[in-house]
Amino acid sequence: MHLTVKLFATYREGRFEIADLEHPDGSTVGSLLDALAIPRAELGFVLVQGRHVELDTPLAANTTVSIFPKVGGG
């Protein structure tokens, strides 16, 4: 399936800012992290279409996935 993937902050180092990717149908958020070599334990949070999802949330085709390390400010 087709996904638009956005990476932020330290996750861009050695990867990309935004990319259109093909990913196996029926896979989960966690499997996408694995494919991007982002350790699950270091994850901050993931948004799909601007909504928070969990590692075991199934991905839907033609969505935007935004992946953040642990960040904060304010």
Partner 1 sequence: MENILRINLSAEGGPKTSLEPIGKYAGLGGRGLTSCIVADEVDPLCAPLGAANKLVFAPGLLSATPATTSSRLSVGCKSPLTGGIKESNAGGQPATVLAKLNYAAIILEGRTPGTDLWKIIIGADGVSFEKCNELRGLGNYDTVAKLVEQHGEENAFMTIGQAGEMKLGAASIACTDRELRPTRHLGRGGVGAVMGSKNIKAFVLKEKDARYAKAKDPVKFKAASLAFAEGLKRHAVTGQGLPAYGTNVLTNVLNEAGAYPTNNFHTGQFAGASKISGETLAALETERGGEATHGCQKGCVIQCSGIFHDKDGKYLTKQPEYETVWAHGGNCGIDDLDAIALLDRMDDDFGLDTIETGVTIGVAMEAGLIKFGDAQGAIRLVKEIGAGTPLGKILGSGAGVTGKVFGVERVPVVKNQALPAYDPRGVQGIGVTYATTTQGADHTAGYAIATNILKVGGFVDPLGTAGQVELSRNLQIATAAVDSTGLCLFIAFPILDQPDTFQSLLDLLNSFYGLNLTGDDVTALGKKVLKAERDFNTRAGFGPAQDRLPEFFQKEKLAPHNVTFNVTNEDLDTVFNF
Q: What H or E segment, with its residue span, contains residue 35?
A: helix 29-35
Q: Which is nearer to partner 1, 19 or 71 (CB)?
A: 71
The four Cα atoms 13, 7, 15, 71 give a dihedral, to 10 degrees, of 30
CB of 44 to partner 1, least distance (A): 7
- Chain centroid, CA 2 distance in Å: 13
Q: Point out which residues bind partner 1 (CB under 8 A).
A: 6, 8-10, 12, 17, 42, 44-45, 47, 49-52, 66, 68-74
* Residues β-bridged to residue 22: 2
Q: Which is nearer to partner 1, 25 or 49 (CB)?
A: 49
Q: Which is nearer to partner 1, 8 or 58 (CB)?
A: 8
